[in-house]
Structure 1
Amino acid sequence: MHRFHVPGMACSGCFAAVTKAIRTLDPQVQIEADLENRRIFVKSDKPEASLLTALENAGYPALPAPAEG
């Protein structure tokens, strides 16, 4: 699972745009959001770099986030 911090994702509309961007790359993706902390959790076989590029191209640049625990 990939974890990303998406500083520009502040609402459910932003999350919808983020989801759409990643689904374009991987239609089978599973995504969960933590809007309060502006994090997403992405279950995809695509490389992290590809997912980050898709987010940046959609206007939501992101950074890898460390696993919690």
Structure 2
Amino acid sequence: MNVQLTVPGMMCDGCVNSITSEIKTHDPNAKVEANLDRKLLTIETAKMAEPELKAIITAAGYEVT
């Protein structure tokens, strides 16, 4: 399943790495792509749905819209 989420506070590669690390803690096979200009994450995962991904990103300290 592919999920696209907007993360307004995602400003740099460090942010992307932090979010990716948290997601991969729950699904090591997840693929995460980020577009910093658009503040957009595209996540491919077979284990998690959008609500779970939002909760993980929020717990990491980022707002998801």
**Is there any run of 5+ residues in structure 2 with no aligned partner, and where?**
none
Once residues 60 and 48 of structure 1 are traced to their aligned partners in structure 2, the CA distance between those partners, rounded to angstroms, is 15
Q: One-letter code of the match for 2:49?
A: P
Moved over 2 A (4+): none
Q: Distance in 1 between matches of 2:7 and 2:30?
A: 17
C-alpha distance in 2, partners of 1:57/1:3?
Answer: 18
Structure 2 match to 1:9: 10
Identity of paired residues, percent? 32
Matches within 5 A, 1:21-40: 21-40=22-41
Maintained 8 Å contact 1:30/1:42? yes
The number of equivalent residue pairs is 63
Q: Which runs of 5+ in 1 are unaligned?
A: 64-69
The one of 51, 57, 63 equivalent to 1:55 is 57
| Matches of 1:17 and 1:28, distance apart in 2 | 16
Aligned-pair RMSD on alpha carbons? 0.8
**Scaled by the length of structure 2, what TM-score is found?**
0.91
